[in-house]
Structure formats: structure tokens, C-alpha cells
Amino acid sequence: MNNPLSRPLIPTTDTVVLDVDGLRMRYGSTDVLHDVTFQARQGEVLTLLGPNGAGKTTTIEIMEGFRMRSAGRVQVLGTDPARGDEQWRARLGVVLQSWRDHGKWRIGELLTHLGAYYACYSTPRIRRPWDTDELIQAVGLTAHADKKIRMLSGGQRRRLDVAIGIVGRPELLFLDEPTAGLDPQARREFHDLVHRLAGEQQTTILLTTHDLDEAEQLADRIVILSGGRIIADGSAEELARQIAGQDQVRWTLDGQHRTHSTTDSTRFVHELFKQYGDAVGELEVRRASLEETYLTLVSQAESGRGGAAPRASKEAAR
């Protein structure tokens, strides 16, 4: 786990919510997904990264049941999305790009209207839909609840998109570039909301983003797709470890500045203190940012130097 904030309040369970095995997709004579395999567990935030055209949207649309796959096994909340019924669909949340319809409606009216469709899918464990006022507060739109949708700013609309995606209290939420167009404060609030959904409500979240800081902030696990293949699967730290020599340890000893590159900075620092104790000063460990790791892994994959993606272990998924 990379960020203490991303640790769920209730730990991620072992229940597999998303199970994709040997997924292939072909458009005409072009293969765009090759043997894609990954899983996500309940309460886990999984981020799908990859360059334009890598196959992220195709993968997500297959899981949402909007696109038929060419081959492979896909189970979403225990059901093959190609055969998902209304009851199954009510357990999913999808945040689509901006909601442009119903411009004359007010936020509260629209959410109450959409939420009503979920009432019959309530269960003893999950009361559906989300209470409109609570939901509006959760996405930070209380001050605008009575505004007509066409009067909202781009960022306010994006918050409304998220509210529409979660009004049915989904067990699995798909977020496609959710913070594009949000200002820094709205982005921060959105990140808090994702942490709350995953931590308090045990919602599994699959999101795509091109913002690597965001991925690092939010993801329990990161899956990188390149050219339709998974080239990496693990936490940000695990992915960084795949690239040899990326941690830089700096310190001073007898007034002299020293630097050392290592794949295991924890062990190195331990040895350093064991050997020199209090004589070590100004210690600094600089880990590769996710951006550096990502760019290296993608460029290795594109030049054919990448190895097979290590499958994330159960522990890595927590």
C-alpha cells in the first residue's frame, strides 16, 4: 500500500469481484487485447494505466457488458457481463463522460429521479438508492443542489457525473478519467470520496487516468496495459522495484556527501546505521516516482525489452 490514506478502514476482503482471464479482443483482423488477465478484490482500488490506444476503454467496456469479447473468461460480481441482467447491472456504477441531458432539471431532482430506479434492488446489506441530500453532500454539491444542470460549471458537472454513477450504491464502480477538468480542491475532495467509498462502503473501484500522481494517490494496485498486453501489475512500490537501481540513498558521513543507488533501500539504510550509527547525517531516500517507473516500463515494452508482467500476489492486492 503506497499511501496510508488509501488503506481501507475495513480491510480489503478476499472476495474476488473482478476476474479477467485470458481476455482477447479483435476488431476486424486487428488484435487489440492479447491474453489480458487480472483480478480485483472487494474494497480494492485498481487503476488501469496505459498509453493512448493501449486497450483500457475496450477492457472496461467488456467488463461493463457494453462490448462483446472475442475470447477469454470474464466474471464481474460473479456473472459473465455478456449475460448480466438488470439486477446485476444495478450493482455496478459507471461514471460516463459528462451528463448533458436534462439541462432544465435541478441536481436534486435528477438524482432523486435516477435513484428511484434502484429502490427495488435494495438488499438487507445495501440500502438503495443513496439518500439524495447525503449524496449531494458527499460529492460537494450542497451549495448548488437547487441549480439547473445547464447552469453548472465543468467541474460541478463532473461532480454530478460521479453522483449519478454512485446513486445506486454500487458494489463495483468504473471511473473513466474521473478528475479530468476538476480544480485541485475538487480533485482532492474527489480523492477523499474514493477513499471513503473503498474504505467505508467496501466498493471496488476500477479507474483509468493519465494522471500518474492521481494513480499513486488512489491505487491499491496498478495494472499497466501497453499494446493490448499487461506489462505490469502491482502496487506503485512493487512496480518501482521492477526497475533495477531506482532508489537513491543520500547521506553525509564525516561532513562528506555520499550517494548510493539500490533496489532495496530499506536494507541498505539498515546496514548503513548498523555500521556507522549516529555518524550518519542528512539521510534522504529518493524513490522513483510512478511517472518514471511507468515511462520506463512502457518504453521497455514498446522496444520489446519488457518481461512478462508479474502477477500481483494476494498480499500485494491489500
What's the angle, vertex CA 173, arms to CA 184 and CA 11, rounded to 5? 90
Q: How far apart are CB 41 and ligand ATP at their closest, in Å?
A: 23
Closest CB to ligand ATP among 50 and 199? 50
Give the burial class of 124: count Cβ atoms within 10 A of its Cβ; 0-12 exposed, 13-18 middle, 19 or more buried: exposed
Q: Please list every residue from 278 through 307 that binds ligand ATP, using CB under 6 A.
A: none
- Asked if residue 12 lies in contact with residue 6, where contact means CB atoms within 8 angstroms, the answer is no
Distance in Å, CB of 61 to ligand ATP, minimum:
8
Q: How far is the CB of 46 from ligand ATP (least distance, A)?
A: 15
* Closest to ligand ATP by CB, 158 or 169: 158
The nearer residue to ligand ATP, 39 or 226, going by C-beta atoms, is 226
Separation of alpha carbons 103 and 150, rounded Å? 4
Buried b (16+ CB within 10 A) or exposed e, 232-241: bbbbbebbbb
**CA–CA distance, 301 with 297 (Å, rounded to integer):** 6
Largest CA distance in the chain: 72
CB of 88 vs ligand ATP, minimal distance in Å: 23
Contact window for ligand ATP (CB under 6 A) among 47-55, 95-103, 194-202, 273-281:
47-55
| Plot region of 277 (φ>0 → left; ψ -120 to 50 → alpha; else → beta) | left
Site membership for ligand ATP, residue 178 (CB under 6 A): no
Residue 69: CB minimum distance to ligand ATP, A:
12
Q: Is 105 exposed, middle or buried (0-12, 13-18, 19+ CB in 10 A)?
A: middle
**Subset of 192-221 contacting ligand ATP (CB under 6 A):** none
Q: Which residues contact 271 (CB under 8 A, 6 or more apart)?
A: none
Q: Is residue 27 within the footprint of ligand ATP (CB under 6 A)?
A: yes
Specify the residue, 32 or 145, whose C-beta has the smaller distance to ligand ATP.
32
The smaller minimum CB distance to ligand ATP, of residues 90 and 224, is found at 224
Strands of 92-95's sheet in order across = 92-95, 172-176, 204-208, 45-49, 221-226, 229-234
Shortest separation between residue 199's beta carbon and ligand ATP, angstroms = 28
Interface pattern 49-78 for ligand ATP (x via CB under 6 A): -x-xxxxxxx--------------------
Cα 266 to Cα 126, 188, 238, 269, 271: the distances in Å are 43, 30, 14, 5, 9
Taking the least distance from each CB to ligand ATP, the nearer of 17 and 54 is 54
Least distance in angstroms from the C-beta of 208 to ligand ATP = 7
Q: What is the contact surface with ligand ATP in residues (CB under 6 A)?
A: 27, 32, 50, 52-58
